[in-house]
């Protein structure tokens, strides 16, 4: 039985692990390769999970918005994909539910040798980018049957549902939140939750991220 089914059945507190915000990969001693994720949705989900009495941990990228003081105590910060992987290795075994909202790098750059700073005077610089490990796919592959892993798919609206279903299946997830590209940096979201059994729950359009967090947790982890 999945943790969310247990939660629905017993209304007991769950151990919920949430990741949010961007990874930052060093290019040289001072520069970073990162993305525009603000972490707002993950912060909203963590706040709502705490409000509902769940044992909550938020892994939050350093480039994200600052967490409100109410969730600081459950928050651990990461920089690179490698940092996030280490934190997940440490915290996932004790989690009933992972909500993987972090915008993890798809590519990790080869760094300038010896931690030096690239100079403009060296002329054009070519970056070599290596594919990053897929953290959520690795976790889903080794999770225990009672653990639930939920990923996110951020895609252009026209291909969103199709691409989200592909990702859900390729990464071996229990469910995936499908949301269009303009969710990034916005305070609102129009999204649906697609389950591995093919069921699709669609939230009302253009919810605040706080309202969407409550909608999502109603489905994944109702109040104890």
Residues near ligand C5P (CB under 6 A) are 100, 102, 104-106, 132, 134-136, 151-153, 167
End-to-end CA distance of the chain: 17
Shortest CB 84 distance to ligand C5P, Å:
8
Residue among 69 and 128 whose Cβ is closer to ligand C5P: 128
Shortest CB 170 distance to ligand C5P, Å:
8
* CA proximity to 102, closest of 72, 130, 86, 78: 78
- 41 and 21 in contact (C-beta within 8 Å)? no
Shortest CB 220 distance to ligand C5P, Å:
14
Which residues does 160 contact at the CB level (< 8 Å), separation at least 6?
A: 153, 178, 179, 180
Alpha helices in the chain (DSSP H): 3-10, 40-51, 81-91, 135-142, 160-170, 209-220
Residue among 102 and 216 whose Cβ is closer to ligand C5P: 102
Tracing tokens 């996932």 back to the chain, one arrives at 92
Determine the 3-state secondary structure of 189 from DSSP: strand
Query: How many CB atoms lie under 10 A from the CB of residue 224?
Result: 13
- 40 and 81 in contact (C-beta within 8 Å)? no
Shortest CB 161 distance to ligand C5P, Å:
14
Residue among 41 and 153 whose Cβ is closer to ligand C5P: 153
Residue among 14 and 135 whose Cβ is closer to ligand C5P: 135
Residue among 102 and 217 whose Cβ is closer to ligand C5P: 102
Structure tokens at 90: 């440490």
> What whole-number distance in Å separates Cα of residue 11 and Cα of residue 221?
8
Shortest CB 224 distance to ligand C5P, Å:
25
Residue among 167 and 209 whose Cβ is closer to ligand C5P: 167
Shortest CB 11 distance to ligand C5P, Å:
27
């Amino acid at each position: 039985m999945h943790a969310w089914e247990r939660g629905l059945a017993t209304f007991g507190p769950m151990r919920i692990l949430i990741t949010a915000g961007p990874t930052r990969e060093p290019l040289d001693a001072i520069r970073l390769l990162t993305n525009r994720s603000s972490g707002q949705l993950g912060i909203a989900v963590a706040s709502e999970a705490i409000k509902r009495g769940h044992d909550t941990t938020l892994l939050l990228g350093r480039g994200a918005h600052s967490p409100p003081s109410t969730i600081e105590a459950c928050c651990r910060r990461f920089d690179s994909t490698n940092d996030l992987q280490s934190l997940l290795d440490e915290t996932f075994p004790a989690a009933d539910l992972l909500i993987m909202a972090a915008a993890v790098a798809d590519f990790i750059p080869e760094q300038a040798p010896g931690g030096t700073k690239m100079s403009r005077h060296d002329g054009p610089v070519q970056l070599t980018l290596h594919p990053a490990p897929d953290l959520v796919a690795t976790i889903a592959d080794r999770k225990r049957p009672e653990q639930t892993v939920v990923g996110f798919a951020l895609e252009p609206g026209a291909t969103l549902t199709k691409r989200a279903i592909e990702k859900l299946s390729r990464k071996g997830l229990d469910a995936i939140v499908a949301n269009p590209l303009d969710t990034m940096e916005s305070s609102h979201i129009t999204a649906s939750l697609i389950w591995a059994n093919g069921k699709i729950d669609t939230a009302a359009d253009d919810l605040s991220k706080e309202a969407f967090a409550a909608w999502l947790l109603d489905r994944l982890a109702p109040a104890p």
